[in-house]
Amino acid sequence: MKGVNLIRRPAIIALLASLIIGGDAYASCGVAQFGTYQQVAPTFNGTANAATFGWSVSSAGDVNLDGVDDLIVGDSSASVNGTNSGQAIVYSGANSSILYVFNGASAKDFYGHSVAGLGDVNGDGYSDVLIGADQFQHANPSVGGYAEVRSGFDGSLIYSHSSLNPDDRMGISVASGGDVNRDGIPDYIVGADQFGTGPGYAQVFSGATGTLMFTLTGSIMNNSNFARSVSSAGDVNRDGRDDIIVGAPFDDITGTDSGRVFIFSGANGAVIHDIPGLAAGDWFGFQVGTIGDLDGDAREDVIISATQATTSVGIQAGEVYVLSGLNASVIQTHSGTAAFQGFGTSLDGLGDINGDGCPDYLVGTQGDNTAGIAAGSVKVFSGSTGGIIY
């Protein structure tokens, strides 16, 4: 599962937790399959005073083997080992108790900027987790971010990966890659958007060995922020290997910062779909994810946000698109309800929440003022109708 970024309010974190932990994944629309909806404790609290607790949130899988999926939450400005060293906390899905606290090694690591559950990569039966630390503006100019895989069994370090170059911002995004190499072990993706110093890249690692399988590049612009978002795309080309989706929200293909999204083959890294943003300033590809098969063509479909898109209600209202994994055609579109909302600052697939046989999904809006100034909101949409479930 990919991490959900940019939701920072405790009440919203609680809602996300109950949805992310509670829903099972479903491959396609069809016979109704009810997910096991698990209501978790009302709040998850950080361990320090910081404005970024909940910046990233993901299901961690069943870390402690109690039969309930757990939750990992990033707090990239926690300062245990120096200012903004960062932190990631794994909570029990059963009772919200803290299972593990992982801390960044040094000041300005921004550890926990991205988090993801991986499944069991080392074969011990426990789900493991992936944590990114982008080291943005670090005191040491020679560093450029890193990512770690931690054991769900005892919290120990399984794998660690460092950036190729200074200022790469490796770890800006992380995600499970599904099973890319068909060895039965989940693989994983780490993004490095290079923040203007280069075009950005995404690396795909073997979950079984931690070795680099291949590096993905798409945009050639130095400020495209390619790999600002990454996710498994499921097997969109039906070759038996999970494919990969990568966002480049500042690519200028359709105009300045219009954005662009690529879907790559998990078999060889070839581009399956190259999807441009609609207009300048849209930031198309700010978030990407997969949500299951909505249109019944036996291929996973994908969800993409353009958080700064101008709509009929005003500028920077934001839009979210559900696209066919087969041909990248639009299946559903949703828009923000007011200017400057930034609709789509987070998104994720949920499985079948309402039991109609189709996978559903959530969209977060950091700038939604409905409940107060920038209080934010999360909406859950039906995969079958596109309507709001809640």
At 194 the three-state DSSP class reads helix
Cβ(135)–Cβ(148) below 8 Å: no
pLDDT of residue 50: 52
Assign domain 235-390 to a CATH class.
mainly beta
> How far does CA 302 lie from the centroid of its chain?
12
What is the structure's pLDDT at 39?
45
pTM of structure:
0.89
Please give the structure tokens belonging to residue 273.
Answer: 């779909």
Residues 147 and 157: beta-carbon distance below 8 Å: no
pLDDT of res. 353: 83
Instruction: Say what the pLDDT of residue 42 is.
Output: 40
- Domain segments of the chain as ranges: 235-390
What are φ and ψ of residue 10, in 5° steps? -55, -40
Q: Is residue 287 classed as helix, strand or coil in its secondary structure? A: strand
Chain segment 322-381, per-residue pLDDT in tens: 999 999 999 999 999 999 999 999 898 888 888 899 999 989 888 888 888 877 888 899
Q: Which stretches in the chain have pLDDT values below 70?
A: 1-28, 30-52, 54
- pLDDT of amino acid 8: 47
Q: Do the bridges between strand 87-91 and strand 301-306 make them parallel or antiparallel, or are there none, so unpaired?
A: unpaired
- Decide if 202 contacts 174 (C-beta within 8 A): no
Cα–Cα distance measured from residue 366 to residue 29, given in angstroms and rounded to the nearest whole number: 30
Dihedral sign (CA 128, 134, 138, 144)? positive
Q: What is the pLDDT of residue 232?
A: 96
The answer to whether 360 touches 351, Cβ cutoff 8 Å, is: yes
pLDDT at 340: 94
96-143 pLDDT per residue, tens: 899 999 999 999 999 999 999 999 999 999 999 999 999 877 777 777
Q: What is the pLDDT of residue 2?
A: 64
The alpha carbon of residue 271 and the mean position of all alpha carbons in its chain are separated, in whole angstroms, by 20
Cβ atoms of 137 and 126 within 8 Å: the answer is: no
Q: Which of 85, 66, 1, 2 is nearest to 287 (CA)?
A: 2
